[in-house]
Amino acid sequence: MLAPSLGLPYPADSLFHDPSGTAFADLTIDGHRETWPIRSRRFRHWLRRRYYEENGGTTSAATISSAVDLLEARAQFDGPERTIHIRGAEHNGRIYLDLADNEWRAVQIGPQRWEVVTSPPVRFRRAAGMLPLPIPQRGGSIESLAAFLNLPTPDEFVLVVAWLLAALQGGSPYPLLVIGGEQGSAKTMLTKILRALIDPNVAPTRTPPREERDLMIAAHNGHILAFDNLSGLPSWLSDALCRLASGGSFAIRQLYTDCDEVLFQAARPAILNGIEDIVCRSDLADRAIFLTLEPIADEAPPDGARALARVRSSSPADPWFSARRRRRWAAEVVSHSS
């Protein structure tokens, strides 16, 4: 039973806890499995909905809290311990990539093939800001990606692909990708594109954290960390990124207690970009892949017909399609059309 006061059935094997003791529940919703923290607002809403479906009315907040306390205790003391993942995981020689869609599907990647599965053997959680990945299609080529990246030589493209493959793996260590270049070299665009391929988010890039706690919280809620337009790295952040690449942890005192701690532990791939040389310490440099981009030169506008074809076939997401060039070529199109 879910709780004596609610009288709702709930399978005992669907309750579990992670290594830190946080309680989770597997819910069957619309024919697929979803995993939610028992203390989350979403889980409380599900309890209220189930009560309404069974009894046709509402229940008190005290009853819901009592049910949550009971389920949390069962998950922590009677349920198994399982590792909970965000976006990527590895299990029995296969990699699983959470699509973050409404059906909670994942891509299972094996040595010989890949497939989309509805109930992966690993458990994923959803953090605020996560965006869904599209369903992958067969028959493509990684070489198609090169046309969207402002990379000076094929060697840099090989490094980018190597970083993407490393970021897909389910465990540490992860390489750090450091992107440098002058203003106008599409560093931010490259950062956003690479993150969108594996871990799209409503905030694809962010400013550097102010303290180590902020860094670990960001790592707890996302698979890839992307920091934009850095002018340098303080010593503490350089050391923290080293630990994050190989698997780091951070402890803070639990609220309203004297001796209990809350532990954050994570290993994450990261991207840094900036105009200046932002990585100066050798320990972080040993964990990094460096790219240097060249500025995108403003070409002289071609004849009006070519300009019209180029503008119609381009997308604002294309690094080639810079704002300055768009204005210049648009003026040429207007002139040609008139």
What does the pLDDT look like over 222-260, one tens digit per residue? Answer: 999 999 999 889 999 999 999 899 887 777 666 666 666
Q: What is the pLDDT of residue 250?
A: 73
* Domain's final residue, options 42, 59, 77: 77
Q: What is the pTM of this model?
A: 0.80
CA distance 106 to 109: 10
Let me know whether 157 and 103 are in one domain. Answer: no
- Does 137 map to a domain? no
Chain segment 14-52, per-residue pLDDT in tens: 899 998 889 999 998 888 999 999 999 999 999 998 888
Q: Is 107 a residue whose pLDDT tops 60?
A: yes
289 with 313, same domain: the answer is: no
Cα–Cα dist 48/39, whole Å: 14
In this structure, the number of other CB atoms found within 10 A of the CB of residue 337 comes to 8
Taking the C-alpha atoms of residue 324 and residue 330, their distance in angstroms, rounded to an integer, is 10
| Whether 102 and 157 share a structural domain | no
Say whether both 216 and 169 belong to one domain.
yes
Report the range of poorest mean pLDDT among 53-57, 193-197, 282-286.
53-57
| Residues 107, 96 contacting (CB under 8 angstroms) | yes
Question: In this structure, is residue 194 part of a structural domain?
Answer: yes
In a shared domain, residues 43 and 102: no
Angle at 135 (CA atoms; ends 125, 178), nearest 5 degrees: 70
Do 264 and 158 fall into the same domain?
yes
Residues 177 and 252 in one domain: yes
**CATH code of the domain containing 152:** 3.40.50.300
Q: Considering the chain, what is the average pLDDT of its residues?
A: 83
- The answer to whether position 1 is within a domain reads no
Evaluate whether residue 315 is within a structural domain.
Answer: yes
Residues 309 and 258 in one domain: no
Residue 192 lies inside a defined structural domain of this protein: yes
8 Å CB contact between 216 and 266: yes
Q: Which domain holds residue 19?
A: 12-77
Which residues are bridge partners to 253 per DSSP?
Answer: 261
Q: What band does 338 get if pLDDT is binned at 50, 70 and 90?
A: very low
Cα atoms found within 13 Å of the Cα of residue 254, Cβ hemisphere only: 7
In a domain, 94, yes or no: yes
| 3 is a domain residue | no
Residues 170 and 211 in one domain: yes
Q: Does residue 24 sit in the same domain as residue 147?
A: no
As for how many domains the chain has, the answer is: 4
Q: pLDDT (tens digit, 9 = 90+) per residue, 143-187?
A: 999 999 999 999 999 999 999 999 998 777 899 999 999 988 999
pLDDT digits (tens, 9 = 90+) for 311-329: 445 444 444 444 444 444 4
What pLDDT is recorded for position 212? 86
Same domain, 215 and 238: yes
Pair (30, 67) in one structural domain: yes
pLDDT at 89: 93
Query: Residue 262 forms beta bridges with which residues?
Result: 252
**4 in any annotated domain:** no
